[in-house]
Amino acid sequence: MADDPKTLVSTDWLASHLKDPDLRILDASWYLPDAERDARAEYDEAHIPGARFFDLEEISDARSALPHMAPPVEKFMSRMRRMGVGDGHQVVVYDGAGLFSAARVWWLFRLMGQENVAVLDGGLPKWLAEGRATEDMPPIVKDRHMTVRFQNQLVRDVTQVSAASKLGAPQIVDARAPARFRGDAPEPREGLRAGHIPGSRNVPFSALLNEDGTMKSPEETRRIFESAGVDLAKPVITSCGSGVTAAVLSLALERMGKHDHSLYDGSWAEWGMFPTVPVATGDA
């Protein structure tokens, strides 16, 4: 894999840059309740040296009833200042699942106009499997200002997604498992209808990953999108259960050199709750 500090870097790359003064490492581990894992407790026990903990639930829009929606600009800036992450830093984000929630934090940084941010390919599991060092002490943090330029084109709301569903463009791509996409499996969140956004295509985020949690090559991911019926000539809106794994698709698209993608932040947590928007079942 070619390392790209704006999308995806290897454990070898991170190990060789660990002492860089302008490097900031973020542990963005987050799990669904059924995983029965405590991300913060795991961070406190062992993390990559120098890593700060990025709390996906706390660094979100507290005014929204929807889960972990993108935070207001001011809140993101204040939290990053407190974490000592700011202008001139190269950020590397990882998670404890391999490649799961880290992509969401990568997307959040991009949404805030930060481009020098990458996901650690294979995450903490690969780092540990290679016998690399961890520590249990939090880093010493100094305030750092971050200049934020919100990138409105990277996020979509229910009205914009509804229009795309009707018009067939942009192309909507759903990262959930096939059974949830078809409506055969119940949603993990209560009160949601089962199925998918009419006209959307299904590319389960796990299909883009190798067995060790690393991301497949841009050539392979392109073939997977195309075989799912995604027209890559059109702009793409990524979606999932609550806007987390949709970002894995966004990361894959960015690595493929496809930059006209956005993420439906409310995702199925919002669409499945709205009685006035249509739901499709079965295959796309």
Q: What confidence tens digit (pLDDT) does each residue in 125-167 have? A: 999 999 999 999 999 999 999 999 999 999 999 999 999 999 9
Q: 150-159, 183-192, 219-228, 265-274: lowest mean pLDDT where? A: 183-192
User: Looking at residues 45-50, what average pLDDT do you find?
Assistant: 98
Contact 113, 148 (CB under 8 A): yes
CATH architecture type of domain 153-271: 3-Layer(aba) Sandwich (3.40)
- Is residue 232 scored above 70 in pLDDT? yes
Domain 8-150 and domain 153-271 have a common topology: yes
Selecting among 28, 240, 251, 252, the annotated active-site residue is 240
Identify the pLDDT of residue 32.
86
Task: Output DSSP code: residue 192.
Answer: P
User: Looking at residues 205-231, what average pLDDT do you find?
Assistant: 97
Reported confidence tier of residue 1, pLDDT bands at 50, 70, 90: low
- Is residue 284 scored above 80 in pLDDT? no
Does domain 8-150 sit in CATH 3.40.250.10? yes
Please state the pTM of the whole predicted model.
0.97
Q: Indicate the angle between helix axes 102-111 and 246-255, nearest 10 degrees.
A: 70
26 or 186: which carries more pLDDT confidence? 26
**240 is an active site residue:** yes
Cα-to-chain-centroid distance, residue 271: 19
